[in-house]
Structure 1
Amino acid sequence: MIPTPDLSHIKKQDYDRVYEPAEDTFLLLDALEEDEKLIQSLKPRICLEIGSGSGCVTTLLAKIVGDSNALFLTTDINSFACETTRQTGLQNKVTRIEPINTSLVDGILPRLKNRIDILCFNPPYAVTPHEEVGSFGIEASWAGGIDGREVIDELLPYIKDILSPQGLFYLLLIEENKPKEIVEIMKNQYGMNAMIIMQRRAGREKQFIVKIHH
């Protein structure tokens, strides 16, 4: 059992500027822990979390991977989230986190084409008006537009070019995002393997983890 990363360095008012870990975060952490031995067996060299927020997920992933020369890249459109991610790593004695202040995978491709061994994304999945998508502040962490899918759908075409041949992608979704439809899109449009590996109800939300690989 790997302890949840220590976030005591993040002040209460900081959560006005960066997403506070909640049930969705913990479901993603549980999925990574469940696959601990599989992840370790891959001996990941480069891991990427899109939309790292507090840095909680990448920090736990680094603990799972353990002592190695693996590099942990993160992206976030919110510059405060990038700095918070770095600090969360340091708070938990993880020094190999490299935050990049960018949107989704801008700046990652083509340089790291088919190089990412573990990819994680807890996307902005809330159903919101289209106009709320693409902010640079805290709203960017939840505003997902139509069906909560606008940001997710923007990323899906890149997955086959991001993942290494043995790479794994852990994607968090809610029921409104139509997770079964996403599984079918990844299989039929992009020729990838995709399956729902975990689901949990959190209040009124039903949350899912979809795992995708070549």
Structure 2
Amino acid sequence: MIPTPDVSHLTKKDFEHVYEPAEDTFILLDALEQDAESLRLSLPRVCLEIGSGSGCVSSFVGSILGPSSALYVATDINPHACHCTKLTGRQNKTPIEPLNASLATPLMQRLKHAVDILIFNPPYVPTYDDEADGAQQGADIQGAWAGGKDGMQVTDVLLDQVENLLSPIGRFYLVAVKQNDVPAIRRRLLDTHGLQSEIVVQRRAGGEHLFVVRFSR
């Protein structure tokens, strides 16, 4: 078993502004651990996490791959999250390069068809659209969960970027809940971009039915 990354350096005050690892984080770690051997064998060179929060997930990928020449890049709209991601990477010996940005927008040309591991645990909780808009503009912890109509407002934007980012061997890991309509997400990426998909892990956590879906060419 691969240990969960150490986030003991982050404080209660940090977690007032940055999403603390929770069940949706842990199901994503479980999915990545399940694929650990094949991820290592694929020799990934570029790993990109969208919405890195505490940096726990990117650090976990670093633990899977071990000493490697992989580039670890993370984006988050929350500047405090970028700071925490950098610290968590350092704490867990993973050299993560955080970028304060929305989704992968500033990286679309530089990383075109170059990302081998793409990860997104989005704000998936259904809310009013204006609540999601305000959360994104506020760039604080609310942006980690407020997802707008069907919880898909932010995810919809990223889904249009996925094919442009994935390398020929690329894998995209997406966390979703039942209300997001997982079958529709899978059909959309298959029909529009020809991406195959598989539900890697699913489980109930409180009132949520969580999924991790893996997409590839």
Query: Is residue 159 from structure 1 mapped to residue 162 from structure 2 by the alignment?
Result: yes
Question: Structure 2: how far apart are the matches of 1:159 and 1:59?
Answer: 22
Answer whether contact 1:157 1:190 (CA < 8 A) is retained: no
2:10 alignment counterpart: 10
Code of the residue aligned with 2:116 in structure 1: it is: D
Query: Is residue 90 from structure 1 mapped to residue 93 from structure 2 by the alignment?
Result: no
4+ runs of 1 displaced by more than 6 Å?
none
Query: Is residue 24 from structure 1 mapped to residue 24 from structure 2 by the alignment?
Result: yes
Following superposition, the deviation at residue 211 of structure 1 comes to 0.5
Answer whether contact 1:132 1:139 (CA < 8 A) is retained: no
Answer whether contact 1:125 1:173 (CA < 8 A) is retained: yes
1:55 alignment counterpart: 55
1:203 alignment counterpart: 206
1:169 alignment counterpart: 172
Code of the residue aligned with 1:91 in structure 2: it is: Q
Following superposition, the deviation at residue 180 of structure 1 comes to 0.9
TM-score (norm 1): 0.98
1:115 alignment counterpart: 114
- Percent of pairs with identical residues: 49
Question: Structure 1: how far apart are the matches of 2:114 and 2:193?
Answer: 18
Following superposition, the deviation at residue 93 of structure 1 comes to 1.9
1:129 alignment counterpart: 128
Number of positions where the alignment pairs a residue of Structure 1 with one of Structure 2: 213
Code of the residue aligned with 1:185 in structure 2: it is: R
2:74 alignment counterpart: 74
Q: Secondary structure at the match of 1:107?
A: helix
Deviation per CA, 1:111-156, whole angstroms, max 9, x where unpaired? Answer: 1100000011000000011012223111110010000001111111
1:194 alignment counterpart: 197
Q: Which residue of the other structure, out of 143, 149, 155, is the alignment partner of 2:146?
A: 143
Code of the residue aligned with 1:53 in structure 2: it is: G
Question: Structure 2: how far apart are the matches of 1:85 and 1:76?
Answer: 9
Q: Secondary structure at the match of 2:142?
A: helix
Q: Which residue of the other structure, out of 177, 182, 196, is the alignment partner of 1:179?
A: 182
Question: Structure 2: how far apart are the matches of 1:167 and 1:120?
Answer: 11
Following superposition, the deviation at residue 157 of structure 1 comes to 1.3
Deviation per CA, 1:36-61, whole angstroms, max 9, x where unpaired? Answer: 00100110101000000000000000
Gaps of at least 5 residues in structure 1 are none
Deviation per CA, 1:16-48, whole angstroms, max 9, x where unpaired? Answer: 100010000000000000000010011010100
Following superposition, the deviation at residue 91 of structure 1 comes to 1.1
Question: Structure 2: how far apart are the matches of 1:158 and 1:91?
Answer: 31
Following superposition, the deviation at residue 195 of structure 1 comes to 2.0
Question: Structure 2: how far apart are the matches of 1:88 and 1:111?
Answer: 25
2:40 alignment counterpart: 40
